[in-house]
Structure 1
């Protein structure tokens, strides 16, 4: 038999649903589903040389050249996701393993054996106690922003440095921080009058792979969120923190602290979203990859469903550093604006076409920009 498979478990806990194959084995129901996607992206870079993680610069945006063409993944990877569930006594028991892969690389054989295991967790709970989750999964902080980004089924900022062997960035580092994948012990409360609480103890991480000078230490990272939803509206308040241990005198220890406030609203065909993150050590593409630095991320989006099959949208994101610290490499901000059209040709297949521009500004006044275009499609099964 078939049922709606929530791709939220499959890929970034997305709100998109698709058909999965369900198999019964004793008390267990096994669901097999996944994602396959590919996008043609063309980028062109110009302007000044900006240091640090300048997503719109020639080095990262266009792989060191003036322009690049890639046929690869969008913001989501391709992946095969297997989940199981069972009712055992008074508990609902479930588990998920997600095995992802990238489409594009610089060689014809480079990705043949590469896999990206983002998820491997089990959970138990019920309507009265809520749900406990143990294992590897996506983080809580930043989840609402990326899950509601229209470019989740497209590309957003098609930065060459990440699309080769990985995925595009959407608005990661140019509007919100990446939610990350961690080993964790998490708890989700049952919803009460629309209010829900999520908390997690997260295995502490270093500030890699792009940062240097800090170790993960011995104290777990903590993430949490309170959300309220009803009548087409949702509001959330989140936070996260972790101590990073400096490895040399040049890199003194510090504590990453971040807070997030966001809201979304939908009425008929119209949808709007606003999200703000601010704190110390939030990073560009991973926790604290700019070290002990204060930054703020802004993300705004509006979408309109013109027909049952066609949705159009425009969004803008800005990630801005407060001070020119060593970890920024001279980068003051990354921003991205994207306009897109999304056409659901079947319940499982969505075609997307997007145009956008990513800008990076330096504290020295220099500006680099990357113009990007993408088209392709994604299949949820």
Structure 2
């Protein structure tokens, strides 16, 4: 599927690389065009963990491979939760305006109490309103976006990952939860869902640009100490992000983009620091081959999350900012209705919780119909920390249906 349709999937309708061309249902209601679409996916995953000499739990140290040896079986959704996406658009007094409400659903039962596994009887699955935003603009002014939506940083990395329609690595083998990791923490951090106001300039000759502000993220772990977490609304300044890109067509179409993110973080000691990051993404198609590459560097963020709520972006005592970087290389080949691909990614943290996470994913994706894609993936992961290393391999088999 083309990138433009993939973006439509996550930014207001549902579609992903590897699936066929999907059109959401639409109908007229007065001057408004209403749209409805979404996806449902499910995967059977077998994960084998070799904890090696890291027996204190991999995820607590930002090592994403399993920390407990053994095999685990699960049935859950993949990197994309199931979704129901609603849109409403119209043209009024020279402006194109729109509204989008996209709700995502996890298949596995949620364990919010932290007292058991998500396989508990009579437990409920999770619901997440990731996108609630409005848009307005025209060809002369560009487009203003206001509301809760995916961020700009690392967005192209996740949109073009072959595992976006699949599963890739899981966050916890025995507790798959709301979503798998895909390549999160293995080459790029999560783009996150941010309350934001953005201005996208009119596209000119393939060039595009977006600048905006977002509700600032907490940069430290939940807990006590001099850097105890404060509410995002208490920050003195907003966060800022921007993105530039250039896309071209022809015999070898492609895309190159770069983003920048920055926000101040107020520490309870009276000092201040920053979350800051930049990245670059590139993709080119040569006949039936697709090649993609990505690189990022960040301060005050972990390899997995921009704000570092789970994995700290700042030292709890000294306030020192974490330093992280990562990259991935990916190639895929399509023949008929089938695509095969390989993604190799690596992320590293250097200061607070030194860790190196490496992932290789091999995937086969077959469009059984224009709406239904069947797939199989094999992922091999390794985490190295200051106290040891562990390895994980996972095989998933499943399907995703877009409507």
TM over 0.5: yes
Q: Deviations over 1:314-360 (max 9, x none)?
A: 0011111123x2xx2xx421111100000000001111100011111
Measure, in 2, the Cα distance between the counterparts of 1:98 and 1:71: 23
Aligned partner of 1:61 in structure 2 is: none
Structure 1 residues 155-194: Cα deviation after superposition (integer angstroms, max 9, x where no partner): 1112326963310111101110100001110111111111
C-alpha change, 1:75 and 1:48, in structure 2 (3 Å) is: same
Structure 1, unpaired ranges of 5+ = 59-63
Tell me if structure 1 keeps the 8 A contact 2:13–2:86.
Answer: no
Distance 1:348-1:208 versus aligned 2 partners, 3 A rule: farther
2:403 matches 1:378: no
Contact 1:102/1:111 (<8 A) preserved: no
Structure 2: runs of 5 or more not aligned: 110-117, 314-320
Cα-to-partner distance string for 1:22-73 (whole Å, 9 max, x where unaligned): 1210000100100100011111111121551211032xxxxx5522111101
Partner of 2:166: 154
Shift of 1:371: 0.7
Pick aligned residue for 2:374 from 324, 331, 351: 351
Q: How many residues align?
A: 363
Cα 1:121–1:193 change in 2 (3 A) is: same
- Residue of 240, 259, 262 corresponding to 1:241: 262
Deviations 1:172-220 (A, max 9, x none): 0111010000111011111111110011200112147778744342211
CA distance in 2, matches of 1:356, 1:210: 31
Q: Are the equivalent residues in 1 in contact too, given 2:13–2:24 (CA < 8 A)?
A: no
Residue of structure 1 in register with 2:113 after alignment: none
Q: Work out whether residues 233 and 266 of structure 1, in 8 Å CA contact, stay in contact via their aligned partners in 2.
A: yes
Q: Does 1:144 align with 2:152?
A: no
In structure 2, C-alpha distance between the alignment counterparts of 1:68 and 1:11, rounded to whole Å: 33
**With structure 1 as the length reference, what TM-score do the two structures score?**
0.90
Partner Cα distance (1:82, 1:341) in 2: 30
How do 1:76-91 and structure 2 match up within 5 A? 76-91=80-95
Q: What secondary structure, in the 3-state scheme, does the structure 1 residue paired with 2:177 have?
A: coil
Structure 1 residue aligned with 2:45 = 41
1:271 aligned to which of 290, 311, 315: 290
Q: Please report how far the alpha carbon of residue 269 of structure 1 lies from its aligned counterpart in structure 2 after TM superposition.
A: 0.7
3-state DSSP of counterpart to 2:302: coil
Counterpart for residue 336 of structure 1: 359
Distance 2:296 2:327 in 1: 7
Provide the aligned C-alpha RMSD in A: 2.2
With normalisation by structure 2, the TM-score equals 0.85
Runs (4 or more) in structure 1 with deviation over 6 Å come to 208-212
Aligned to 1:9: 11
Do 2:167 and 2:180's aligned partners in 1 also have CA atoms closer than 8 Å? yes
Name the structure 2 match of 1:175. 187
Q: Check if 1:199 corresponds to 2:221.
A: no
For residues 255-277 of structure 1, the C-alpha deviation after alignment (integer angstroms, 9 at most, x for no partner) is 01101112100122100011100
